[in-house]
Structure 1
Amino acid sequence: MSSNEQVVVSLLSNLALSFDGAVLGVALAYAAVRSILSFTSNSSALRKLRDAPSVGVSDLRSVLPPDDSSGSDDSATQPQPTEGRLVIVRGTVEPKSVIDGSWKSLKPNLLVTQETGDKAVVIQRTQTCIYNEWKGLFGWTSDLRTIFGRSSRERESTTVRRVPFILVEGGRWPLSDYVLVNMDGSRHPLPLTTVYHQLQPVNASPYTFLQALFGHEYPVGLLEVEKILPPGKDISAVGLCVMKSGIPEIKSCKDLPYFLTEMSKDQMIVNLALRTKVLFWSGVVLGSLSIGILGFSAMRNWNRWKEWRRRRRDQEEAQRAAAAEDADALAASEDDESANVPDGQLCVICLMRRRRSAFIPCGHLVCCQSCASSVGRDDSPKCPVCRQSIRGSVRIYDS
């Protein structure tokens, strides 16, 4: 583990264990809530998948409501449904140009990959820049940049090209039955096939040595990957299907984790059910841990608060006892002041009251009780006569 990673781990561990683990408990509670919310959404998606019919392209029209857009004039004044019905359609990928009914169908409108020349309806090209991991002789500068800032350079860039495509019944010609795939607004992963994967080294520049010496990152390689969705591939489309001008069109549903996939309905249900179980038990375990840690933290802090209250009460009682002693000393000194005191028996500090307290251990009887108590409360109490350190004073009573 590098030095910057050790610093980050130390900071995170200290933060997580602060307040007797209260921060860690809150973080686990947040993770538990997220797991439960994900479990709820996945459970809803699982129910929708189980209820959705799985049909072929040729049987799709039988499960969809009729398209009234080309009907009578009365239907034109009524609002048309925009959501459609959730269905699972299994078909073969073909470009939309094969059913256009023009000269374009003789030469389908397809994309061609840059490196291999493969034809596809969707091409995804990713370029990832790989940087060095050596920290150099002055690597602490990169550690500071890692902790307090991020590199402004993009490490990965992805470009996606696609042409309109449809799903048809595999092996059936002419293509009278098809469904148009609407990719607008879809963020779901696509069932792409990798056709090109190559790591190319980056030539060193004249400044590479200085960058390496001072721990600055510099590129050492470029990873290029091309993935395609080729025509003729059998996939399943899961989404909302509607009839538009007599043509079925399917689009993605945001509540479902799938849109275009190679899995069948049974495989999707098994996969989603397993994910739902994992999320459920993760939420239960994380929630139990968070409750235990937060309960332990609450009890520890409650005991600490009670201990602070007890110490505070003891201090207040000690202060009240000291105040009572001072009051007694003041009352005794007032009694002494009322009598005539010879000069040789006056307190050497106030010169007003009778000498009543002897210091320990020196034994000098030179102060009244009030002044002796004041001297005893000093940080380093000393006898005003011999300057010896004293441990306290004792009141002397006449027989």
Structure 2
Amino acid sequence: MSSHEQALVSLLSQLALSLDGAVLGVALAYAAARSVLKFTATSSALRKIRMAPSLEVSDLRSILPVEDSSSGLSQQSDQMIVVVRGTVEAKSAVDLNWKSFKPNVLVSQESGDKAVIVQRTQTCIYNEWKGFFGWTSDLRAIFARSWREQESTSLRTVPFVLVEGYGWQHSDFVVVNMDGSRHPLPVTTIYHQLQPISASPYTFLQALFGHEYPVGLLDEEKILPLGKDITAVGVLSFKNGIPEIKSCKDLPYFLSDMTKDQMIVDLAFRSKVLLWSCVALGSLSIGVLGYAVVRNWNRWKEWRQQRQLQQPRQAASDDVHSRVAAEEEEMGEIPDGELCVICLMRRRRSAFIPCGHMVCCQRCAISVERESTPKCPVCRQEIRNSLRIYDS
């Protein structure tokens, strides 16, 4: 760890422990609240998937809305969440028009496999060294670590459906609607290669002045091939009698390689981890905040007691001050070396405790004592009170 990183860690630790740990307690409370929200969302998703019926593709049409014979209208039922296990097939294979003679599928550039989703990612990997001006690299190491990789991703999709195995009937399919879905896709990596980048004069200049320079290009291709068995979890609806499944943003899954039982086990494990995280973080935040509140409450009580003790002393000091002022007014001229360093009008009469400096008159010494953090005007040491000095 460099010196800059050590300084940053030290600053963050001091900030977290400030106010007797109150900042750390608030941060732990925020993390506990986030864990509670995640636990609630995960528990809700687990309950929905457990209650969702697990159907085959051929059974989806059995829950089609029946037509009302009296009105001649189709009574649409509410959208429901279902779990469907099927095989990936292009939508052009079930379209009954002239376009079906031309299969609408994607072909991988590297392997030649047919797919409905092709995701290609290129990642440029950078290296960094200090060069002649190494301090610039240290600053970027703290504030700009994300610059070390630059990634570009291209995603191509075609409409596809889920069918029931290889011997599926032409009418048994469900359309997969990918609109608005940001869930992870069950794609398979078919190409993964790291290609080195040859050096250039510009690369030499980058390395000379301590900048990042590219050293390799990672090329990766992932596809969702035809004939792959996947599970779709989402909202089922019917459009013109054709079943269609769409992603639900409240669920962590949409298209997955896992079965319904595996999803339930995974979500149950996440719920337990989040629950114990809520308990641990909540207990720590309550303990740290309670300690901070008690410490600051005791400090406030001590300050209040000191203020109450100083009030009668201030009243007595006012009486003494009036008498001393009368005495000093009757005195003649005062030498410059004995004048008060604050008002420069009266004689030095009070010594501060514990430093012992006698540089102020009685009135100015009382004014210094009444400050929130009283300090000696000469040595700037914190003082407790002052003592009146009488000449023999």
Mark yes or no: TM-score above 0.5. yes
- Partners of 1:34 and 1:96 in 2: how far apart? 41
What are the Cα deviations for residues 183-222 of structure 1, in whole angstroms up to 9, with x where unaligned? 0011111111000111111222213233223321222111
Q: In the alignment, which of 342, 351, 376 is matched to residue 349 of structure 2?
A: 376
Partner amino acid, structure 2, of 1:191? P
- 1:247 maps to which residue? 242
- Partners of 2:265 and 2:226 in 1: how far apart? 28
What are the Cα deviations for residues 131-157 of structure 1, in whole angstroms up to 9, with x where unaligned? 113233422213334556687897111
SS of match in other structure, 2:124: strand
- Evaluate the alpha carbon distance shift between residue 23 and residue 223 of structure 1 in structure 2; reply closer, same or farther with a 3 A threshold: same
- 2:94 maps to which residue? 99
- Partners of 1:205 and 1:151 in 2: how far apart? 24
1:46 aligned to 2:55?
A: no
Q: Choose 125-134 or 234-243, whichever is displaced more.
A: 125-134
- Partners of 1:138 and 1:305 in 2: how far apart? 51
What are the Cα deviations for residues 16-60 of structure 1, in whole angstroms up to 9, with x where unaligned? 112121111111111111110111111111111111110110111
- Evaluate the alpha carbon distance shift between residue 315 and residue 211 of structure 1 in structure 2; reply closer, same or farther with a 3 A threshold: farther
- Evaluate the alpha carbon distance shift between residue 94 and residue 15 of structure 1 in structure 2; reply closer, same or farther with a 3 A threshold: same
- Evaluate the alpha carbon distance shift between residue 227 and residue 203 of structure 1 in structure 2; reply closer, same or farther with a 3 A threshold: same
Shift of 1:323: 2.0
- 2:375 maps to which residue? none
- Evaluate the alpha carbon distance shift between residue 392 and residue 325 of structure 1 in structure 2; reply closer, same or farther with a 3 A threshold: closer
- Evaluate the alpha carbon distance shift between residue 266 and residue 203 of structure 1 in structure 2; reply closer, same or farther with a 3 A threshold: same
- 1:188 maps to which residue? 183
Shift of 1:376: 1.1
Q: In the alignment, which of 64, 73, 76 is matched to residue 75 of structure 1?
A: 73
Shift of 1:244: 1.0
Partner amino acid, structure 2, of 1:181? V
- 1:66 maps to which residue? 65
Query: In angstroms, what is the RMSD of aligned CA positions?
Result: 3.1
- Evaluate the alpha carbon distance shift between residue 257 and residue 71 of structure 1 in structure 2; reply closer, same or farther with a 3 A threshold: farther
1:203 aligned to 2:225?
A: no
Q: Is the 8 A contact 2:126 2:149 kept in 1?
A: no
Shift of 1:122: 0.3
- 1:177 maps to which residue? 172
Query: How many percent of aligned residue pairs carry the same amino acid?
Result: 65
- Partners of 1:194 and 1:102 in 2: how far apart? 34
- Please give the residue correspondences for 1:1-399 in structure 2 after superposition, counting only pairs within 5 Å: 1-62=1-62, 64-66=63-65, 75=73, 80=76, 84-102=79-97, 104-147=99-142, 155-329=150-324, 333=327, 347-349=331-333, 374-377=347-350, 380-381=358-359, 393-394=389-390
What are the Cα deviations for residues 314-356 of structure 1, in whole angstroms up to 9, with x where unaligned? 444443332232234467x59xx9xxxxxxxx74448xxxxxx
What are the Cα deviations for residues 103-153 of structure 1, in whole angstroms up to 9, with x where unaligned? 554553211122332221001111112111323342221333455668789
SS of match in other structure, 1:121: strand
- Partners of 2:38 and 2:359 in 1: how far apart? 70
Q: Is the 8 A contact 2:131 2:210 kept in 1?
A: yes
- Evaluate the alpha carbon distance shift between residue 5 and residue 224 of structure 1 in structure 2; reply closer, same or farther with a 3 A threshold: farther
- Output the TM-score relative to the length of structure 2: 0.80
- Evaluate the alpha carbon distance shift between residue 274 and residue 142 of structure 1 in structure 2; reply closer, same or farther with a 3 A threshold: same
- Partners of 2:130 and 2:15 in 1: how far apart? 27
Shift of 1:395: 7.2
Q: Is the 8 A contact 1:67 1:246 kept in 2?
A: no
Partner amino acid, structure 2, of 1:75? L
- Evaluate the alpha carbon distance shift between residue 297 and residue 85 of structure 1 in structure 2; reply closer, same or farther with a 3 A threshold: same
SS of match in other structure, 2:238: strand
- Partners of 2:198 and 2:146 in 1: how far apart? 21
What are the Cα deviations for residues 285-305 of structure 1, in whole angstroms up to 9, with x where unaligned? 111111111111111222222
- Evaluate the alpha carbon distance shift between residue 226 and residue 298 of structure 1 in structure 2; reply closer, same or farther with a 3 A threshold: same
- Evaluate the alpha carbon distance shift between residue 33 and residue 233 of structure 1 in structure 2; reply closer, same or farther with a 3 A threshold: same
- Partners of 2:252 and 2:245 in 1: how far apart? 15
SS of match in other structure, 2:314: helix
- Partners of 1:213 and 1:314 in 2: how far apart? 69
Structure label with greater radius of gyration: 1
Partner amino acid, structure 2, of 1:218? Y
- Evaluate the alpha carbon distance shift between residue 118 and residue 211 of structure 1 in structure 2; reply closer, same or farther with a 3 A threshold: same
- Partners of 2:66 and 2:321 in 1: how far apart? 100
SS of match in other structure, 2:348: helix
- Partners of 1:136 and 1:3 in 2: how far apart? 17
- Partners of 1:381 and 1:250 in 2: how far apart? 88
Q: Is the 8 A contact 2:349 2:389 kept in 1?
A: yes
Name stretches of at least 5 consecutive residues in structure 1 with no aligned partner. 338-345, 351-372, 383-390
- Evaluate the alpha carbon distance shift between residue 275 and residue 224 of structure 1 in structure 2; reply closer, same or farther with a 3 A threshold: same
- Partners of 2:83 and 2:359 in 1: how far apart? 92
Q: Is the 8 A contact 2:125 2:148 kept in 1?
A: no
Paired positions, count: 352
Shift of 1:67: 6.4
Q: Choose 141-150 or 5-14, whichever is displaced more.
A: 141-150
- Output the TM-score relative to the length of structure 1: 0.79
- 1:368 maps to which residue? none
Deviation >6 Å, runs of 4+:
70-73, 149-154
Q: Is the 8 A contact 2:127 2:148 kept in 1?
A: no
